[in-house]
Copies of this chain bind each other. A is one copy, B any other.
Amino acid sequence: MTFRVQVRVIPRPGLLDPQGQAVEHALGSLGFAGVGSVRVGKAIELSIDAASADEARAAARAMCDRLLANPVTEDYAIEVEA
């Protein structure tokens, strides 16, 4: 069975995020008020062949640990869709 998996990789809290700061500043310049704590990271979508959703999630976690995310500087979140 093929599962569609959404991965979100975001800079860890406390770490500098210059891209997030730039976006926050740009949003303010465009007139958007009340915006804060902007963080910018990577969104990765992929299809994984697996026997179950749990297996697909485990595979995605292994991919994050080995390639998609930097464990020192980034957190990741995984969502598995049918």
Q: Is the interface of A mostly helix, strand, loop or mixed?
A: strand
**B41 A42 Cβ-Cβ under 8 A:** yes
A23 at the interface (CB under 8 A from B): yes
Copies of this chain, how many?
2
Query: Which residues of chain A from 21 to 50 have a CB within 8 Å of any chain B CB?
Result: 23-24, 26-27, 30, 32-50
Number of interface residues of A (CB under 8 A): 36
**A35 B10 Cβ-Cβ under 8 A:** no
Give the complex CA separation of A68 and B46 in angstroms: 22
Q: CB within 8 A of A45: which of B32, B37, B45, B62?
A: B37
A-B contact pairs, 24 of them (CB 8 A): A2-B36, A8-B43, A10-B43, A20-B44, A23-B46, A23-B67, A23-B68, A27-B63, A27-B67, A30-B66, A34-B48, A35-B48, A35-B49, A35-B59, A36-B46, A36-B49, A38-B45, A39-B45, A39-B46, A40-B42, A40-B43, A41-B43, A41-B45, A42-B43
